Chain A
Amino acid sequence: MKDTRSKKVYSVVIEPMTTTMKQFFRSLIRPSTLLYPFEKLESGDKKYFGVNGDIWSRYRGWITLNLPACISCGACARACPNKCCVMEKVVDDPDSITKTHMHPRIDFARCLFCELCVQACPVTDCLNMTSIYDITEYDRKDLFYTPKDLYVMYKKAKMEKKFTTMSQGKVASKKE
Chain B
Amino acid sequence: MSEMWINMGPQHPMTHGLWNLRVKVDGERIADARAEIGYLHRGIEKIAEIKTYTEFIPLSDRFLCYASAMSWEMAYIGAVEKVMNIEIPKRASYIRVIVLELQRIASHLMWLASWTADLGLLTMFLYAMREREQFLDLMQMITGGRLHYVYMRFGGVVKDLPEGFKEIALPVLDQFEKRLRDYKHMMDESEVFILRTKGKGIWEKEYAISMGVTGPNLRASGVKTDLRKETPYLSYADFDFDIATGTACDTYDRYVVRMIEMSESIKIVREALKKLPDGDFKLFSIPRVPPKGSAIFMSEDPRGLSAAYLVSDGTLHPYRLKFRSPTYFNIQGAVPAIIVNERIADVPSIIGSIDVCLGEVDR
Contact = CB atoms under 8 A, between A and B. Distances in A.
Interface of A: 11-12, 15-16, 19-20, 23, 32, 49-60, 79-81, 112-116, 119, 129, 164-165
Interface residues of B, number: 40
Contacts of A50: 133-134, 137
Contacts of A56: 140
A51 B58 contact: no
B186 interface: yes
Contact of A58 (B142, B169, B172, B190): B142
Main secondary structure of the interface of A (DSSP, over half): loop
Nearest to B168: A53
B137 A114 contact: no
Closest 9 CB pairs of A and B: A58-B144, A114-B58, A53-B168, A81-B55, A60-B144, A55-B141, A51-B137, A16-B186, A114-B150
16 contacts: A15-B185, A19-B182, A19-B185, A20-B123, A53-B165, A57-B162, A81-B55, A81-B56, A112-B58, A112-B59, A113-B145, A114-B57, A114-B148, A116-B55, A119-B158, A165-B144
Contact of B141 (A11, A23, A54, A129): A54
B58 A59 contact: no
Nearest to B142: A58
A168 B57 CA distance: 21
A51 B141 contact: yes
A81 B141 contact: no
Contacts of B51: 81
Contacts of A115: 144, 150
B108 interface: no
Interface in B32-75: 51, 54-59, 62
A113 to B, nearest CB: 7
B127 A58 contact: no
B168 A52 contact: yes
B143 interface: yes
Contacts of A11: 189
B282 to A, nearest CB: 12
B138 interface: yes
